Structure 1
Amino acid sequence: MSALVIKNARIVNEGKVVEGDVQIVGDRIDKVASSIAVADSDQVIDAKGAWLMPGMIDDQVHFREPGLVHKGTIATESRAAVAGGITSYMEMPNVKPSTTTLDALAAKHAIAAQSSLANYSFYLGASPDNLEQIKQLDPSSVCGVKVFMGASTGDLLVEEPAILEAIFRESPVLIATHCESGPVIAKNTERLALPGKDFTIDQHPLLRDDEACYQSSSLAVSLAKRFGSQLNVLHITTAKELALFDAGPVENKSITAEACVHHLWFSQDDYAALGNQIKCNPAIKREQDRVALLQALRDQRIDIIATDHAPHTWEEKGQPYLSAPAGLPLVQHALLTLFDQVKRQELTVAQVVEKVAHNPALRYRVAERGFIREGYYADLVLVDPNQTTPVTHDNTYYKCQWTPFNGVTFSARVVATLVNGQVVYDGEQPLQSAPIGEALRFDRG
């Protein structure tokens, strides 16, 4: 059988950077070596010294399908994801109808099987009345249960202590939480309100402040400790919350923390220029919080970097602050923001790979992905630090067709992305329209 051979790469894997070649046969990595001979029938990609890393496993995206497809679809957003070096994603339940039943999970799998360019899994959303559905989840096929603790609306808001306790006690899979305290946000809103004046975007991090985050995340951590739950607290934004989490290797933890690329890139100083484009929940906060998050990544207190990709239309984002929805499109440029962090010496390239590929695979127990290992699936990305990536609204692949990085030129370039052994992005455009992605499987006892 002919192979695809990647030659002359700087392979970033398991804490090391080594020069070498990788041979792919079918959908698997067949051989990793310092030099691999090439047969006449083999396809060859000359990496020319670019970094070769396992593809990013994004444990938090909102692709908006079903029900919100004017913002994005699994097809459009997975296309943007592979252009950004993301080869697998875990998608959130706040669509229409909300993903709160096993039937709704199956329906999303059916859509992805027909349209996704990247590998996929879907969270079941916790609601006040779906504990029996949660208890029936198959740990080998479902990434986790998403709990919106005090910061959502409709059937996905879970605030009652007895219901939260039951979810943390009974869930057979990892629990991922959005932690912001509704009562604290309400108190802040009352305290900061001025007669005759509307709130503005610069007040967003004041309304949803560090205390709102800490009150909720500390509750989640206490529940997980009480019931022995597997907990991943999503999108940490404050220095105050970091004391809740232990430093050390992710393999040794049952309670973990995640940071998102926009909270590592932007600070509240950017609201003046970008306004609602960077309105998100939890809010982008102070520069000292951003700096603390980066330090926590280096200290192994924060374990995973994700995107929380959440597209809305330009018209929706152009509404007044209180009406504009929270969330921004990120998957196409997330990895590039991190390679700029490498250039700034905030992170090493090995740390980036650990946080975006190795640790998500280990934390969620993703089967045979997240590493460059013989026998593993060939989910790979080549990043060239000697090429740049100028970004405009017009050169995005998002259905919403805008980016908060408009006008930025990143210091590296994604030059190839492979999913299950197939080149799906060549550095210029996505090459596939047929579904390439597969449902993720999880090795959980």
Structure 2
Amino acid sequence: MSKYLIKNGTIVNENTIQVADILVDNNVILKIDKSISDSNATVIDASGKYVFPGVIDDQVHFREPGLTQKGTIASESRAAVAGGITTYMEQPNTNPQTTTIEKLEEKFALAANSSFANYSFLFGGTNDNLEELKKLDKNACSGVKLFLGSSTGNMLVDNEEVIEKIFRNTEMVISAHCEDETTIKNNLAKYKEQYGDDIPTKYHPLIRSAEACYLSSSKAIALAKKTGARFHVFHLSTGIETSLFRNDIPLKDKKITAEVCLHHLWFSDEDYASKGNLIKWNPAVKTAEDRAQLWEAFLDDRIDVLATDHAPHTLEEKDNVYTKAPSGGPLVQHALPAILEKYHQGKISLEKIVEKMCHNPAILFEIDRRGYIREGYFADLVLVDLKNSWTVTKENIAYKCGWSPFEGNTFNSKISHTFVNGHLAYENGNFSEKRNAKRLTFNR
């Protein structure tokens, strides 16, 4: 391992911004001070650049095993590092699904050999694997995932008695995709009757409606309160759901938390006309008013975390009629540059971005020594040039699927360096083929 001295960077950390040096060695941050000298260290001049903790993305789909035409742990974690994401939590709807401890450990073994970024996985709850879930050690992985509305991979959990037993039988964070299946099926039938399979994509948010989201999330939150479960709602997409969450207690004391994804803060239903299936996600991108209310809740701390729900599909798959085009899109490479556009527009501070993308995921999932720039913590660091504009093109997209909903967008901020456990994994468009990623550990 090389020793690095990052000089004169503007550090954004724990609600402060200050110019300081950071000395990195043997996976960790050794020292943070105004002026550090070390003749044995490789010096990186970060003058004029901002230094963030590595981003922690609590929801990605990297498609391995079984769906590797869309992406792999190697390809998508590499793209994540280019986007300043140094840690990810991958979802269980692969093939085979991650619904046994054996399959969970097989995924960890895959990542140990191929991941460019630090990793953990969510264990998938189903209608019939409660006994397996009970055997899962609370520190084995990042948490439990429930699909309370069907999505890619069809892991729908719809047995209410089982759901309550899951809520009562784990100490881990239970994260859920919340959409009411009956509402969606009824809406879809109505539009299929009119259009057949070739439903205009603009109706996606009316099929997977705000009502479907609220019915599911409100019911699940009521159950979490009844059982005392630690419950985290993934990818909020509606304004009405934001009323279900609190901002009057610290995150560490919250039993019920929420995430919003970059695409629900960026796009609205007005964008279906130009983007079509490329912005078809579950839950759906909804109205500009929903987006405004999500922003309000995000900024006032009812919503705790910003993530990507990175979920690549091939362009060939996306180029199908509505009912056959899968939902999801690639985002890990572009989420941080995109949210930094909102900083440039005066909508959000750098400190708040770091809080929502770095600190809060670490608190929420009780991750060991990550998410902050602190002495003794793992040296996951991102150097950002806020005055280096670039345009997303096919040539600079790192995803295996080869496309992005941001293609053609010009961002004002560029990631110049990404360190993973003190290893310089990415520098000015160039990747190190050496991997220094680690399995996440937890303080539970």
Q: TM-score range by the shorter chain?
A: over 0.9
Moved more, 67-76 or 143-152: 143-152
Report the counterpart of residue 389 of structure 1 in structure 2: 390
Could you tell me how far apart the structure 1 residues matched to 2:153 and 2:252 are?
Answer: 35
What is the distance in 1 between the residues matched to 2:57 and 2:247?
22
Give CA deviations for 1:297-327 in whole Å, capped at 9, x if unaligned: 1100000000000000010011111110000
Q: Does 1:241 align with 2:241?
A: yes
1:108 offset after TM fit, Å? 0.3
Separation (CA, whole Å) in 1 of partners of 2:161 and 2:423: 48
For the 8 Å contact 1:127–1:155, the answer to whether it is kept is no
Whole-Å separation in 1 of the counterparts to 2:315 and 2:188: 26
Secondary structure (helix, strand or coil) at the match of 1:64 reads: coil
Q: Which residue of 2 aligns with 1:442?
A: 442
User: What TM-score results when the alignment is normalised by the length of structure 1?
Assistant: 0.97
In structure 2, the partner of 1:29 is 29
Q: TM-score, normalised by structure 2?
A: 0.97
Question: For 1:234, what is the secondary structure of its paired residue?
Answer: strand
Displacement of 1:157: 1.1
Contact 1:93 1:124 in 2 (8 A): yes
User: In 2, distance between residues paired with 1:156 and 1:166?
Assistant: 17
2:259 match: 258
Give how far 1:242 is off: 0.5
Letter in 1 for 2:217: S
Specify whether residues 115 and 2 from structure 1 end up closer, same or farther in structure 2 by C-alpha distance, changes over 3 A only: closer
For 1:215, the equivalent position in structure 2 comes to 215
Give how far 1:155 is off: 6.4
Instruction: Give the Cα separation in 2 of the matches to 1:33 and 1:196.
Output: 64
Which stretch of the first structure deviates more once superposed, 241-250 or 173-182?
241-250
Counterpart residue number, 2:103:
104
Which whole-Å CA distance do the structure 2 matches of 1:154 and 1:377 have between them?
34
Decide whether the 8 Å contact of 1:232 with 1:255 is kept in 2: yes
Partner of 2:362: 361
**Higher mean Cα deviation, 79-88 or 249-258?**
249-258
- Give the Cα separation in 1 of the matches to 2:153 and 2:126: 9
Matched residue SS, 2:236: coil
Contact kept, 8 Å, 1:135 with 1:172, in 2: the verdict is no
Q: CA deviation at 1:193?
A: 4.5
CA distance in 1, matches of 2:390, 2:247: 34
Structure 1 residue 153 displacement after superposition? 7.1
**Using a 3 Å threshold, how does the CA distance of structure 1 residues 196 and 440 change in structure 2: closer, same or farther?**
closer
Instruction: Quote the offset at 1:53 in angstroms.
Output: 0.8
Shift in alpha-carbon separation, 1:70–1:154, aligned structure 2, 3 A: closer
Aligned 1:292-441 pairs, distance under 5 A: 292-431=293-432, 433-441=433-441
CA distance in 1, matches of 2:30, 2:156: 46
Q: Aligned Cα RMSD in Å?
A: 1.3
Q: Which amino acid aligns with 1:134?
A: L
Matched AA of 1:386: K
1:151-187 per-position Cα deviation (integer Å, ceiling 9, x unaligned): 2477621011101101111123110000000011122
Secondary structure of 2:182's match? helix
Provide the rounded CA distance (Å) in 2 between the counterparts of 1:73 and 1:25: 30
User: What letter is aligned with 1:295?
Assistant: E
Cα separation, 2, equivalents of 1:186 and 1:46: 56
Matched, 1:38 2:31: no
In the TM superposition, residue 2 of structure 1 has moved relative to its aligned partner by 7.2
Going from structure 1 to structure 2, the CA distance change for 1:341 and 1:129 (only over 3 Å counts) comes to same
- Calculate percent identity across the aligned residue pairs: 49
8 Å contact 1:78–1:116 — kept in the other structure?
Answer: yes
Query: Which AA in structure 1 matches 2:166?
Result: I
Match of 1:138 in 2: 137
- Structure 2 gap ranges (5+): none
Unaligned runs of 5+ in 1: none
1:53-64 to 2 correspondence within 5 Å?
A: 53-64=52-63
- What are the Cα deviations for residues 40-72 of structure 1, in whole angstroms up to 9, with x where unaligned? x21011112211010100000000000001110
- The structure-2 alpha-carbon separation of the partners of 1:207 and 1:119, relative to structure 1 and needing over 3 Å to count, comes to same
- Following superposition of structure 1 onto structure 2, how do residues 161-240 of structure 1 map, counting pairs within 5 Å? 161-195=160-194, 197=196, 198-240=198-240
Q: How far apart, CA to CA, are the structure 2 residues paired with 1:178 and 1:324?
A: 19
